[in-house]
Amino acid sequence: MDGYRRAGAISPRAARTERNRAPGDALRHDDCMLLTRLAQVSREVAATAARSRKIALLAELFRDAEADDVPIVIPYLAGRLPQGRLGVGWKVLGRPVPPAAEPSLTVREVDARLTGLGKVSGPGSQAERTRIVGELMGAATEEEQRFLLGLLTGEVRQGALDAVAVEGLARATGADPADVRRAVMLAGSLQTVARALLGEGPGSLDRFRLTVGRPVLPMLAHSASSVAEAVEKLGACAVEEKLDGIRVQVHRDGDTVRIHTRTLDDITGRLPEVTSAALELRGKRFILDGEVISFDAAGRPRSFQETAGRVGSRTDVARAAEETPVSPVFFDALSVDGRDLLDLPFAERHAELARLVPEPMRVRRTVASGPRDVPEAERFLADTLARGHEGVVVKALDAPYSAGRRGAAWLKVKPVHTLDLVVLAAEWGHGRRTGRLSNLHLGARTPDGGFAMLGKTFKGMTDAMLAWQTERLKELAVEDDGWVVRVRPELVVEIAYDGLQRSTRYPAGVTLRFARVVRYREDKRPEEADTVEALLAAHPEVSP
């Protein structure tokens, strides 16, 4: 409670009590938030372009929310299902059900029903799913039905919503938005922080500290078109080789080592050689950031597919480690000897890293102090490419570590430009590809949270990829007319292309030239895919 008093703010609960005194408050129901309220706010938030208005709307919603509503309310607002996949297709959703006249559904009830829906399996499951969805839709008003349909088809993704929700939460509870952001970054989950804040107030934020053994979301990079541009933007910077492997965060506490992926999965058991390497380092307690990658006997990087295949294999780890050993290559230190380094400038974090980690286990780098060092930085890029790596990451030496963010302080420069797009549909193949889902319909994000199709491709897929994508896309299917299978827009795929050309056939007015699949990016959510806006900005030659 102290936090509230310090901040001079009114607690959400106290605000609610006052509100509850008002007669005729139809929007509360046993203290649990009604879906109608959420659907209304969601519509209003989407309808306004003003960030301040969005924040005000969300703050008001959060003031009325119970801590237990929040893990449902936040993903619903962003268009995400907390259950992940539910396996309801268009056949089930497309059936119209007469709406209820009055709202009665609570968000928790909806969540419980959807959890039930996700558990249906075995014979007769289609009929059972239809029954559950019919019952849910029948209990929903027209507006609620629209909201639920958007949620279940996954067609609306408000990627920017989480950032607005942070501000709304801060406003609702009197916390400092910067403190909320830092807590979210360290907790790795907005919902966890929201729940603590709404239940216990701003004082609870102290709980979310950087802790060895508890992974945090990694810092990410933006793109620059050249080393010169990156150096000009950042000033004094390090130019580091960009290794095409798998991002890892390595935590060591005494004899215990834990290794986490970029999505915070624990993969310690799959990488015994990385554990041994971490145990040989000088420090006893640390968190390091880096990449694991497999090198061949000549010291050249193996393909991304080989490294990813190795990191992905869970069975017979000893044999996999022998066949495709991987090496950790570190580039940052987040915590050393119990000291949190996140807010220190990169130059200082790197000095700590260098103290702990010997050179062969760190990425190669050169330092540029300004424009006059560009030629040297360009030589470093050329040399890095010649050694088989994909490019460089240019990093401001004075920047803190912004966990979980695509900070402006890291700029990647890669000669082969790729896009992360979302698979919207796939066509059944023919000939050799009969029975396989082959030609992919690719979409980029639009400002309204939807996706605009940019083109199709069936190129670049290996047989293994074809088999995998067929299974995966079948799980996501919402409609199949025997030719095109429309899917929930969830799968992110990395696409190489040779440029853009104008086209009246596609909604953004442009299409990709020679699009081909590079790899699937299961570590990315559709909200992280590239936007039409950024694509057009990168190709002024086709902009209308």
Ligand X SMILES: Nc1ncnc2c1ncn2[C@@H]1O[C@H](COP(=O)(O)OP(=O)(O)OP(=O)(O)O)[C@@H](O)[C@H]1O
Give me the active site residues, please: 242
518 is a contact residue toward ligand X (CB under 6 A): no
DSSP β-ladder status, 32-33 and 327-336: unpaired
Distance CA 71, CA 80 (A): 11
Side chain identity at 272, as an amino acid letter?
P
Buried b (16+ CB within 10 A) or exposed e, 330-339: bbbbbbbeee
Distance CA 79, CA 189 (A): 16
247 is a contact residue toward ligand X (CB under 6 A): yes
Shortest distance (Å) from residue 475 CB to ligand X: 24
259-278 positions binding ligand X, by CB under 6 A: 262
Cβ atoms of 295 and 327 closer than 8 Å: yes
242 is a contact residue toward ligand X (CB under 6 A): yes
Shortest distance (Å) from residue 412 CB to ligand X: 5
Q: For the CA atoms of 199, 203, 205, 208, what is the dihedral angle to 10 degrees?
A: -100
393 is a contact residue toward ligand X (CB under 6 A): yes
Q: Is 240 annotated as a binding residue?
A: yes
Shortest distance (Å) from residue 419 CB to ligand X: 10
Of 278 and 393, which CB lies nearer to ligand X in the complex structure? 393
Of 220 and 267, which CB lies nearer to ligand X in the complex structure? 220
412 is a contact residue toward ligand X (CB under 6 A): yes
Side chain identity at 466, as an amino acid letter?
L
Strands of the sheet with 339-340, listed across from one edge: 256-260, 246-253, 285-293, 327-336, 339-340
88, 139, 205, 243: which one binds ligand X (CB under 6 A): 243
Cβ atoms of 290 and 274 closer than 8 Å: no
- Span interacting with ligand X, options 169-177, 239-247, 315-323, 499-507, rule CB under 6 A: 239-247
- Span interacting with ligand X, options 192-200, 241-249, 353-361, 455-463, rule CB under 6 A: 241-249
Of 88 and 311, which CB lies nearer to ligand X in the complex structure? 311
Shortest distance (Å) from residue 523 CB to ligand X: 7
Shortest distance (Å) from residue 200 CB to ligand X: 34
160, 221, 347, 538: which one binds ligand X (CB under 6 A): 221
Shortest distance (Å) from residue 363 CB to ligand X: 4
316-355 positions binding ligand X, by CB under 6 A: 331
SS3 420: strand
DSSP β-ladder status, 451-457 and 256-260: unpaired
Distance CA 19, CA 386 (A): 67
CB atoms within 10 A of CB 454: 27
363 is a contact residue toward ligand X (CB under 6 A): yes
Cβ atoms of 235 and 384 closer than 8 Å: no
Place of tokens 């991002």: 247
519 is a contact residue toward ligand X (CB under 6 A): no
Distance CA 295, CA 299 (A): 5
Of 256 and 263, which CB lies nearer to ligand X in the complex structure? 263
373 is a contact residue toward ligand X (CB under 6 A): no
69, 167, 291, 373: which one binds ligand X (CB under 6 A): 291
Strand partners, 238: 367, 395
Shortest distance (Å) from residue 35 CB to ligand X: 35
75-114 positions binding ligand X, by CB under 6 A: none
66, 240, 378, 530: which one binds ligand X (CB under 6 A): 240
If you write DSSP's letter for every residue of 249-298 in order, what string do you get?
EEEEETTEEEEE-TT--B-GGG-HHHHHHHHHSS-SEEEEEEEEE-B-TT
Distance CA 83, CA 54 (A): 26
Distance CA 345, CA 354 (A): 15
Q: Is 412 annotated as a binding residue?
A: yes
Of 133 and 496, which CB lies nearer to ligand X in the complex structure? 496
- Span interacting with ligand X, options 15-23, 62-70, 238-246, 481-489, rule CB under 6 A: 238-246
Of 383, 402, 403, the closest CA to residue 392 belongs to: 383
Rounded to 10 deg, the angle between the 125-138 and 107-119 helix axes is 170
- Span interacting with ligand X, options 126-134, 156-164, 178-186, 237-245, rule CB under 6 A: 237-245
Q: Is 405 annotated as a binding residue?
A: no
- Span interacting with ligand X, options 163-171, 235-243, 316-324, 373-381, rule CB under 6 A: 235-243
Cβ atoms of 56 and 180 closer than 8 Å: no
- Phi, psi of 192, rounded to the nearest 5 degrees: -60, -45
Shortest distance (Å) from residue 223 CB to ligand X: 7
Q: Which residues are annotated as a binding site for ATP?
A: 240, 247, 262, 291, 331, 406, 412
Binding-site ranges for ligand X (CB under 6 A): 220-221, 240, 242-243, 247, 262, 291, 331, 363, 393, 412
Binding residues: 240, 247, 262, 291, 331, 406, 412
